[in-house]
Amino acid sequence: MPCDRSFGLVEKKIRRFEGIFTPDDYVDIIQSTHKKFRVVKMQQEEFYNLNSLVKAMTKRKASQGKFSKSSQIVVKDAYKEGFLIKDHYSGIDEDAVKVRLQPGRKSYDFGNFHLENLNMIRKYNQERLLKKSKVNQLKSLLPFYPNPNKRAWLEGLVGRQEQIAHDGRIHAYEEDQSLEDPECNIIDYDSC
């Protein structure tokens, strides 16, 4: 199923709900939209800074628009220079498109291109701090949560944010500091 169609089905289903109060509500809606939809809830420790990976490889484009129509991205020992793109789920790789990531034209060399030796550091070592104005906006929504179980999620989020700010574990940054700055730990969803 093409991505645009999948997103359209999810958006259509979301419009039927009067209130969506937690991330789990979104998960339930997406999974119930189509039996093939699978949602993976990422945890903080599963996000990595990819800068070292980007520096180690050559940027390549998959030919003939195959990437957007692919069903699988396959990393195999048999093709260590990059990865394969397949438009099916069978175990056959003959018609897969090869995307070479190793810089240069030489054949694979363990010493020059060995991605598993890269030092991949976590993107977020601590919980992210929302701006105080965003926490206040979230607090103002609490009276509109009809279900106490759903309200507990937002109360927990607000409570953690207030505790982090109170403890001073993460310091506030200036308003003009870029969100692209890797040292910036404040999220402002209003500016996105």
For residue 146, pLDDT over 70 is answered with yes
Q: Are 126 and 170 in contact (CB under 8 A)?
A: yes
Give the mean pLDDT of 93-99.
Answer: 80
pLDDT band at 92 (very low <50, low <70, confident <90, very high): confident
Residue 179 Ramachandran class (φ > 0 left, ψ -120 to 50 alpha, else beta): alpha
For residue 21, pLDDT over 80 is answered with yes
Residue 40, pLDDT score: 84
Residues 116 and 40: their CA atoms lie apart, in Å, by 24
Residue 25, pLDDT score: 92
For residue 139, pLDDT over 90 is answered with yes
Residue 166, pLDDT score: 87
Instruction: Give the tens place of pLDDT for each residue, 104-129.
Output: 777 777 766 776 677 778 888 888 88
Residue 72 Ramachandran class (φ > 0 left, ψ -120 to 50 alpha, else beta): beta
Give the mean pLDDT of 140-155.
Answer: 90
Average pLDDT, the chain: 77
Residues 6+ away with beta carbon under 8 Å from 83: 73, 74, 75, 76, 98, 99, 101
| 17 vs 62 pLDDT, higher one | 17
